[in-house]
Chains A and B, each alone.
Chain A
Amino acid sequence: MITKFSKLLGAGVIALSALVGSARAADTVKVGVLHDLSGTMAISETSLRDVLLFTFDEINAKGGVLGKKIVPVIVDPGSVWPAFAEKSKQLLEVDKVAVTFGCWTSVSRKSALPVFEKDNGLLFYPVQYEGEEESQNVCYTAEAVNQQAIPAVDFFIAQGKKKFYLIGTDYVYPQTTNLVLLEYLLSKGVPLANIGGGFVKDSSGKITNAGKYTPFGHKDYQQIIAEIKDFAASGDACVISTLNGDTNPPFFKEYAAAGLTADTCPVVSYSIAEDEFRSLPAKDLVGQIGCWTYFQSIDSPENAKFLAAFQAWLKTTKADGVVKEGRVVDSPMVLSYDGVYLWKACVEKAGSFDVDKVRAVWKSGISFVGPGGKVTTQPNMHLTKTVYIGESKADGQFKILKTFPDVYGEPHLKGTFKPKE
């Protein structure tokens, strides 16, 4: 019986891979969707799956790509990081997808990346990230640090802020962002004493990084808020937060309860977009700053069209597990949308789905006018796009305060800014 079972299982797995691997009709093209639909990251990534399905439907309705209909292959790594490598391998080697849209966290991208490089696949990555990476197999539609963190700091400096408190969740994105911001603030003549949150020093005593770091799922921000309150007592202070989604509600609830407001000490949060705002007490947080390359409140015909089409799709879609009510749109979703259209444009210009050819077209510079404005591909696999700074309103939307058009995506920023003498 045991033997039978084991054999059966083996046969099953082999048969399954064969089945999925077998070619379907010739007028379709397979496209991978690699987002967590279960586990901790499902909170954020489920919306990306939804918007991708919407985009595929929209493109298919207009005749597909190169005359082929897009067939999504959706896999769920379940917020288990080794599963990203496994599922990427499956998409590339078994399903043989033409392109993959996916990943959110840095660690998931790092897990999938070696597989994409080995099998020469193409991954479109849509979420703001730490930079310091330029893989030839990843199209970074995401915001680079200079397309988010730096404009926001500029904004605060222009507003006369003199003291900056850096806080983040302890993982690569906040660490690197703060490292760059420390260099940037020093280059703007901000003295070390006016940078709050503490410093990281190496064994020789040289400052290597700044900021206060809390673990994932941290719940108790009392101490840190007390520190911020003291830091902000002398006025003109602001907080630069790279706290990850789940830790924002406890942070902001404590912040509001301690009597801090956007008027006394504003917070810019790089990880809070419209979608995350739904879990926050928006009315206590009016006036906090967000900085993205898209806001739902952008007033443009492309955005209006996109929003209407997405809402209409939500009403009619038959796809499993799509929440239909109370949906909002945010930057990672729009960058996923832009990504699909950019890929389509590249494929059509190249006249082929071949990864090398598509990449060559990407590097040559292709533009697409998306809901967030014009985006243009760059030779370094990133995008040039418009950066917006917005402040939150009581309804959880952002009011756009400043626009920086056509910011070039620059992944390597470390060491770029030299301290002011």
Chain B
Amino acid sequence: MVWKSFRPLLLCTLVVGVGLLADVRAMAAPETARATIVRAILTSDDAQKHTIINSLIGQGDEAIREIFTAWRQDNLYIYTAPNGAKIPVELTGDKDADGTQAAVRVDSGEPLKDASGQPLRLVAKQLTAVEHDASLRRVMKNVVDLLDLGSPLPAKRLRAVQTIGFAQKADKLPVLEARTGIETDTEIKKELREAIALIHLADPDDGVKIKALVVLQELHNSSSYDLINALRAKAEKDNKPAVTAAAHSALLAIDHHRSVVKFFGTLFRGLSAGSVLLVVALGLAITFGLMGVINMAHGEMITVGAYATYITQNVFGAGMNFTLPFIKIAIHLPGLHLTGWAYQLYFLVAIPIGFLSAALVGIALERSVIRFLYRRPLESLLATFGVSLILQQMFKLTFGSNNVNVDSPVYLSSNWTVFDVTFDWNRVFVIGFAVVIVFGVWLALTKTPLGLLIRCVMQNRMMASCMGVRTERVNMLTFGLGSGLAGLAGVFVTQLGTVGPSMGQEYIVDSFMTVVVGGVGSIFGTVVSALGIGLTDQSLQQILLNPVLGKILVLLAIILFLQWRPTGLFSARSRSLD
């Protein structure tokens, strides 16, 4: 489908690349592209098939694109003629009542005819399909990519140039050089220089090699590392000090560039890991930090948000059925059957839904259990642990024990690459998301009447009650707010991790650590500690090259840190002893 939509663009390709294609044609083997493809189809050996198709590289025959498109779309079949000859055909057009379709010979592009010269119509099911797999498609794509050298889309041109460079075939040099003359995109110009240099690396002349190495050193692109390294090893063996030295300094330049990329990458990853921690822990900073409830069911509030997202997604799509456990009430949610952008919006809609559903569950929990335990914090740990077990099993019985899939909307599933540092959109989003909700919570707590009430009840429940504050109601709303924030985190983590009945458990220890390190009762402390832990964790991972050791060290550091500052980074000062 994708290919077809590019057909109008092909004309441009042809016009732009006319000179270049002519060059290529002159070099092409006498065999036509169609004949080559037929040979590839009829070969059973994978490796040989790849070689044959690769031999098409550089050919400009537009038939290649058409046949490959048909191949990818499962429209190619092998027809066995009465005389036993195997003829690859493309089935086209609509099926008639008998399921037959028009057949076009791959080798000529003409309709397939029987002995009497009448066009044959064939049934797909009776023929052998021409198979393809990922790697074959990749090989085909490489060939098509060359056609893409003249594509108006920069990304396509870039891939095409890269592919040619890695292949290191000297006969492609003219194509690239021709392209260099007309290319305007700076990124691709750079890539063209690299590709040409890479091809020069394979040149028998050492002088050319060294010149190419100088270019590569200047470009210091990670992708040329392997080829340079191989060259260095070979030059060392053949005792060619000049080449070895040039290769060595090129490698050093790449290594240096890599370490810079790693540094900024780690910084970004640390920031995003910290933001995830912050989003996940912020709810707990309220229920545990402000209210003093050791809420072991915090993780399950995250799960509520995640399942709310899952349900929203399904309602935007095909709808879903589930049965509430024990009471056996079957619930049918009709689907809206949206597609395209309207469907992609499901995630934005899920954000408030996730918040509200978790807030409601939280309020129910507060009313039924937590309100009896404000003076017994340690026991709130046990009770909420019980609640957590019950909720997990309920999720399991309702949505099945399998993890479920929440799709990534298009606006969260790509990335920007700036100076080789990848900025995933979902990670960028979580950083922004963290900033927004922290700001929102700060506003809510400091600038609204409810925030004032929350702060006064949390400081002294008795006194607030004496002043006429309806503490019960404030407790309920505060817990609802904390749970709702956990629900928001749940909505977001669907984009990063597993969604399943026990997913909440994975966040609970981290969340408590973040809040305790930040200082119980201080939202600002939670922010600082989340970012600090995130950065430390990612840096340690980078240094130790081991994700577990880093985590253990972070835990150890936290334990030691708390010996030094038992109440965390920022703690509410108070004269009370207990």
Tell whether any CB of A sits under 8 Å from a CB of B in the complex: yes
**Chain A interfacial positions (CB closer than 8 Å to B):** 38, 40, 42-43, 46, 158-161, 163, 170, 193-194, 198, 212-215, 217-220, 222-224, 226, 229-230, 233-236, 245-250, 253-254, 256-259, 262-263, 266, 275, 278-284, 287, 289, 321, 323, 325, 391, 399, 401
Do A230 and B222 have beta carbons less than 8 Å apart? yes
Binds A, one of B344-352, B514-522, B541-549, B561-569: B541-549
Do A234 and B497 have beta carbons less than 8 Å apart? no
**Chain B interfacial positions (CB closer than 8 Å to A):** 46-47, 50, 131, 133-135, 137-138, 141, 162-163, 166, 221-227, 229, 258, 262, 265-266, 269, 272-273, 276, 321, 393, 396-397, 400-408, 412-415, 417, 422, 424-427, 495-500, 502, 505-506, 537-538, 541-542, 545-548, 551
Do B131 and A256 have beta carbons less than 8 Å apart? no
5 contacts between A and B (CB under 8 A): A234-B224, A247-B498, A254-B424, A321-B397, A391-B133
| Contact A289 to B229, CB < 8 A, known contacts A43-B403, A217-B506, A279-B499 | no
**A-chain residues with CB within 8 Å of residue B273 when the two chains form the complex:** 220, 222
| Contact A275 to B402, CB < 8 A, known contacts A230-B222, A233-B222, A253-B497 | yes
* One of A193, A223, A233, A250 near B497 (C-beta < 8 A): A250
> In the complex, A355 Cα to B472 Cα: how many Å?
66
Q: Output the nearest chain A residue to B506 by Cβ-Cβ distance.
A: A217
Pick from B133, B269, B413, B425 the residue with the most CB of A within 10 Å.
B133
> In the complex, A223 Cα to B537 Cα: how many Å?
11
| Contact A282 to B405, CB < 8 A, known contacts A213-B548, A234-B224 | yes
> In the complex, A38 Cα to B401 Cα: how many Å?
9
Least CB distance from A177 to B in Å reads 19
* One of A43, A247, A256 near B402 (C-beta < 8 A): A43
**B-chain residues with CB within 8 Å of residue A220 when the two chains form the complex:** 273, 276, 537-538, 547
| Contact A246 to B547, CB < 8 A, known contacts A220-B273, A234-B226, A253-B408 | no
Do B133 and A253 have beta carbons less than 8 Å apart? no
> In the complex, A193 Cα to B227 Cα: how many Å?
12
Do A278 and B134 have beta carbons less than 8 Å apart? no
> In the complex, A159 Cα to B133 Cα: how many Å?
10
Do B134 and A391 have beta carbons less than 8 Å apart? yes
> In the complex, A310 Cα to B469 Cα: how many Å?
62
Known: A160-B47, A220-B273. 13 other contacts (CB 8 A): A38-B396, A42-B396, A43-B401, A43-B403, A159-B135, A214-B548, A217-B506, A220-B547, A234-B227, A249-B498, A258-B424, A284-B413, A401-B131
* One of A170, A278, A284, A399 near B403 (C-beta < 8 A): A278
**B-chain residues with CB within 8 Å of residue A230 when the two chains form the complex:** 222, 258
* One of B138, B166, B269 near A222 (C-beta < 8 A): B269
> In the complex, A248 Cα to B166 Cα: how many Å?
31
Least CB distance from B248 to A in Å reads 15
**A-chain residues with CB within 8 Å of residue B407 when the two chains form the complex:** 281, 283
Least CB distance from A347 to B in Å reads 32
| Contact A158 to B47, CB < 8 A, known contacts A219-B497, A279-B402, A281-B408 | yes
Do B134 and A266 have beta carbons less than 8 Å apart? yes
Pick from A40, A236, A257, A279 the residue with the most CB of B within 10 Å.
A257
Q: Output the nearest chain B residue to A232 by Cβ-Cβ distance.
A: B223
**A-chain residues with CB within 8 Å of residue B131 when the two chains form the complex:** 401
Do B402 and A218 have beta carbons less than 8 Å apart? no
Do B272 and A233 have beta carbons less than 8 Å apart? no
Q: Output the nearest chain B residue to A283 by Cβ-Cβ distance.
A: B407
Q: Output the nearest chain B residue to A234 by Cβ-Cβ distance.
A: B226
* One of A158, A159, A281, A325 near B405 (C-beta < 8 A): A281
**B-chain residues with CB within 8 Å of residue A214 when the two chains form the complex:** 547-548
Do A223 and B541 have beta carbons less than 8 Å apart? yes
User: Which 4 residue pairs are nearest across A and B when measured between Cβ atoms?
Assistant: A279-B403, A159-B135, A233-B223, A234-B226
Dominant secondary structure at the B interface? helix
**B-chain residues with CB within 8 Å of residue A218 when the two chains form the complex:** 547
> In the complex, A215 Cα to B550 Cα: how many Å?
12
> In the complex, A279 Cα to B500 Cα: how many Å?
9
> In the complex, A213 Cα to B550 Cα: how many Å?
13
Do B134 and A262 have beta carbons less than 8 Å apart? yes
Do B542 and A234 have beta carbons less than 8 Å apart? no
* One of B50, B134, B397, B422 near A229 (C-beta < 8 A): B422
> In the complex, A247 Cα to B403 Cα: how many Å?
11
Do A401 and B547 have beta carbons less than 8 Å apart? no
> In the complex, A214 Cα to B496 Cα: how many Å?
16
Q: Output the nearest chain B residue to A46 by Cβ-Cβ distance.
A: B401
> In the complex, A246 Cα to B427 Cα: how many Å?
20
Least CB distance from A153 to B in Å reads 14
**B-chain residues with CB within 8 Å of residue A266 when the two chains form the complex:** 134-135
Do B427 and A222 have beta carbons less than 8 Å apart? yes
Do A263 and B547 have beta carbons less than 8 Å apart? no
Do A235 and B542 have beta carbons less than 8 Å apart? no
* One of A46, A246, A257 near B426 (C-beta < 8 A): A257
**A-chain residues with CB within 8 Å of residue B138 when the two chains form the complex:** 263
Do A235 and B166 have beta carbons less than 8 Å apart? yes
**A-chain residues with CB within 8 Å of residue B262 when the two chains form the complex:** 226
* One of B223, B500, B546 near A235 (C-beta < 8 A): B223
Do A224 and B547 have beta carbons less than 8 Å apart? yes
* One of B403, B500, B547, B548 near A223 (C-beta < 8 A): B547
Do B496 and A250 have beta carbons less than 8 Å apart? yes
**B-chain residues with CB within 8 Å of residue A170 when the two chains form the complex:** 548
* One of A193, A229, A279 near B404 (C-beta < 8 A): A279
| Contact A259 to B269, CB < 8 A, known contacts A234-B166, A253-B495 | no
Least CB distance from A216 to B in Å reads 9
**A-chain residues with CB within 8 Å of residue B166 when the two chains form the complex:** 234-236
**A-chain residues with CB within 8 Å of residue B393 when the two chains form the complex:** 38
Q: Output the nearest chain A residue to B198 by Cβ-Cβ distance.
A: A234
> In the complex, A283 Cα to B405 Cα: how many Å?
11
| Contact A256 to B413, CB < 8 A, known contacts A222-B272, A222-B427, A287-B137 | yes
Do B414 and A257 have beta carbons less than 8 Å apart? yes
Least CB distance from A185 to B in Å reads 16
Least CB distance from B111 to A in Å reads 30
Do B222 and A226 have beta carbons less than 8 Å apart? no
> In the complex, A46 Cα to B397 Cα: how many Å?
12
Least CB distance from B307 to A in Å reads 13
**A-chain residues with CB within 8 Å of residue B505 when the two chains form the complex:** 217
Q: Output the nearest chain B residue to A399 by Cβ-Cβ distance.
A: B133
| Contact A258 to B422, CB < 8 A, known contacts A220-B273, A223-B538, A253-B408 | yes
> In the complex, A220 Cα to B280 Cα: how many Å?
14
Do B223 and A234 have beta carbons less than 8 Å apart? yes
**B-chain residues with CB within 8 Å of residue A263 when the two chains form the complex:** 134, 137-138, 141
| Contact A279 to B401, CB < 8 A, known contacts A223-B541, A234-B223, A262-B134 | no
* One of A43, A160, A236, A321 near B500 (C-beta < 8 A): A43
| Contact A234 to B499, CB < 8 A, known contacts A219-B506, A222-B269, A279-B403 | no
Do A284 and B408 have beta carbons less than 8 Å apart? yes
Least CB distance from B316 to A in Å reads 15
Pick from A38, A229, A249, A321 the residue with the most CB of B within 10 Å.
A249
Least CB distance from A138 to B in Å reads 26
> In the complex, A212 Cα to B550 Cα: how many Å?
14
Do A193 and B229 have beta carbons less than 8 Å apart? yes
> In the complex, A161 Cα to B139 Cα: how many Å?
12
Least CB distance from B523 to A in Å reads 24
**A-chain residues with CB within 8 Å of residue B427 when the two chains form the complex:** 222, 257
Do A223 and B266 have beta carbons less than 8 Å apart? yes
Do B422 and A325 have beta carbons less than 8 Å apart? no
**B-chain residues with CB within 8 Å of residue A198 when the two chains form the complex:** 545
> In the complex, A213 Cα to B497 Cα: how many Å?
18
> In the complex, A161 Cα to B50 Cα: how many Å?
12
Q: Output the nearest chain A residue to B262 by Cβ-Cβ distance.
A: A226
Least CB distance from B367 to A in Å reads 28
Do A259 and B400 have beta carbons less than 8 Å apart? no
Least CB distance from A282 to B in Å reads 7
> In the complex, A248 Cα to B402 Cα: how many Å?
13
* One of A217, A256, A287, A323 near B408 (C-beta < 8 A): A256
Least CB distance from B539 to A in Å reads 10
